[in-house]
Structure 1
Amino acid sequence: MAAFNQYLKALRERKFLDIGTVAERTGVHRNTQSKYEDSRDPPLDYLVEFAALVDVPFIDILLKRLDDSKASQRAVNLAISSLEPEKSGVYEVKEIYKTSNELMHVKLNEVSHKLIPTGATVFINTSSKAIDANSMYAFLNPMNGEHFAAKLVLTATKLKLVFDNTERKDLVFSVEGGETESRYILKTLGLLGKIVKAELIF
């Protein structure tokens, strides 16, 4: 059993929760929950739900997952460097929201929506985080510090990051807790705000 899977089991047991209860509250099958505590790697949306359920900071779970990662040491170091230790010794995701009314501009170094190629510079309205149909949004990946763009689609039960790109799969998250849960997921994913302009490299 991998160390990370054992860690999830220990967190569940520490809260005196049985497998069935955790499965029900996180929206997975009981057998899936058992596999997450054995050897299967849980997806991000599950970990977000699980962290809230066991009352553990999500960043602690990310750090533990990095400890048990099979990724290259370079990739792990980059991921850890995107986390900022505070004086208290508690780690937290770097603040990515700007309070200024000025547009933020960043270069997209990660595969993004097919309309905005890698290497493009985008200008972001950081005060606009409400999800509008067919709008493009910028994100800062907290795991590697790279920026990417995606369209956001929100329904009553799903939150989707749409890439329409053969190089990258769309991300889909189950949403049962309404707007509060959607905002939490988007913050975890590194939402910066709505893209208002893009400069493409030819």
Structure 2
Amino acid sequence: MGHFNKYLVTMRENKLYSQGALAKALNVHRNTQANYEDDRDPPLDYLLNFCKELDISFVQILSKRIESSSITDGAKRKALEELSYQGSKFKSSDSQNNKNTSDNTLEKLLSNQSSNFQSYEVSNDLFKPMPKGSIVLCDTLDKEITSNCLYGFSNPLTNEFTIARVELTGSSLVMCFDNPAQENRVFMLEGGEMERNIILQTLGLVGKAKFSLGKL
């Protein structure tokens, strides 16, 4: 996996998209998405759609692509200078870019409905993409279960905060952890929507996870 490909994975995970969900949103095959995150160089139209879907600056993505290229240092400097944004030269590092992206997105979310959003620290390593210590922003008013979305759960007894992807079928509710070392939790539904809501309340559903700030 190349440096730029790893960067694309980080951006996707920061915005809480699964690989399959992003592939669907960008109208590409999941195998194609996997290749772009491994070692294949994504085309320009893909990167444009990627930035639009994840609300990321295209200048930031293009600059990262230039930094990861095999051209000479002099050529990199010249290209980055020509990507100057709002009259200033665009200079970046991994940590600064990630911090700026997190800060801008967090500010946007909080400015929209500040009373709805609460930050939580993940208490365990059940959900592999977001290990213990990760900070997650949840919308406490958005508890509708949607396919391929992530949700936060705060155990009513221990206050342990867990992230999981929730899948609903006609007869079951499944907490998916995307972790080979952790079995998914399956709850059989026999009482319809009322039983589903009781189970979610018992599990301590906080709301839909909107954004990950990583470990602070």
With normalisation by structure 1, the TM-score equals 0.48
Larger radius of gyration: 2
Query: Which has more helix, going by share of residues?
Result: 2
